[in-house]
Amino acid sequence: APEMEYESVLCVKPDVNVYRIPPRTSNRGYRASDWKLDHPDWTGRLRVTSKGKTAYIKLEDKVSGELFAQAPIDQYPGIAVETVTDSSRYFVIRIQDGTGRSAFIGIGFTDRGDAFDFNVSLQDHFKWVKQETEISKESQEADTRPKLDLGFKEGQTIKLNIGNMTTKKGGAAKPRVSGSGGLSLLPPPPGGKITVPPIPPPSSTAIANHVTPPPVLKSSNMSSADILLDLDAPASASTAPASATTDLWGDFSTASSAVPNQAPQQSNWVQF
């Protein structure tokens, strides 16, 4: 009830023209060209208000605000407000007084934008009325329906089965697949140790054939070739006297003869 008593303003236009229109002679609709558009019968201000689900078109004086006429509207489009067939700036409304008498008059706007705002304000209001009616109807139907009892009965239980959540007790975790498309490596087994292969001992033949190079004598008379030959000389040459170092090839022959189980060489090449 308090919402029905509250009146809200939907649209206000300061300039509107009112015309006396001839009675309709056919069902084809009203035409604004049949009116005296250059000589309006009244000029004033238009206000569109709403009170509950009913809208009101009020024609008022520009200066004093005195009410000239009003047209209550129960639905739109309907008989209370009609558009003319030859223009979008003119409408036919049904005005009523307090005694219940009614009459049809024509109204028109100079600006086409004012006519558009007037039309949209009425459409929005009755769209809201339609939504409110549907909501109230659904709520009434919901109240009449039997309510569902979704609570658990005494002793009733439910079981949830979530995938990939159940694992065996003590089992190893599965490797996770990398999201970038690469390969993921398995972790090493628990308690595992990496064994290093043993190094084989050196053979006796390699030890017997190993030759320790003699120390290099720092002499200015020795060339680079002599130094290289001294590096390849056997260990026994280091114990020879200094006079024997002059015959380098003889030292190599002596070293080769000292190795057991080897055949004598037929050439001057030294075998290591």
- Provide the residue-wise pLDDT of the chain in tens; the chain has 272 residues: 444 568 899 999 999 999 999 887 777 788 898 888 889 999 999 999 998 889 999 999 988 889 999 999 988 888 899 999 888 999 999 999 878 789 999 999 999 999 999 999 999 999 999 998 888 888 777 667 677 777 777 878 888 888 766 555 555 555 555 555 555 566 666 665 556 566 666 555 444 455 555 555 554 455 554 554 454 545 444 444 444 445 555 555 555 554 455 545 555 565 55
Domain that holds residue 78: 7-138
Domain count, the chain: 1
Q: How far apart are CA 166 and CA 178, in angstroms?
A: 21
Residue 27 belongs to some domain of the structure:
yes
pLDDT, residue 243, reads: 47
Residue 191 belongs to some domain of the structure:
no
pLDDT, residue 191, reads: 61
pLDDT, residue 136, reads: 81
Residue 97 belongs to some domain of the structure:
yes
Residue 82 belongs to some domain of the structure:
yes
Cis peptide before 77 (omega within 30 of 0): yes
Q: How far apart are CA 257 and CA 197, in angstroms?
A: 38
CATH code of 112's domain: 2.30.29.30
Q: SS in 3 state form for 72-133? A: EECCCCCCCEEECCCCCCEEEEEEECCCCCEEEEEEECCCHHHHHHHHHHHHHHHHHHHHHH
pLDDT, residue 173, reads: 54
Residue 272 belongs to some domain of the structure:
no
- Reference 116, options 92, 90, 78, 95; nearest CA is 90
Q: How far apart are CA 21 and CA 107, in angstroms?
A: 10
- The pTM assigned to this predicted structure is 0.51
For residue 134, the SS3 value is helix
- Please name the residue that has the structure tokens 């300039």: 15
Contacts of 270 by beta carbon, 8 Å cutoff, 6+ apart: 252, 253, 255, 256
Residue 239 belongs to some domain of the structure:
no
pLDDT, residue 162, reads: 82
Residue 243 belongs to some domain of the structure:
no
Residue 100 belongs to some domain of the structure:
yes
pLDDT, residue 108, reads: 94
pLDDT, residue 228, reads: 47
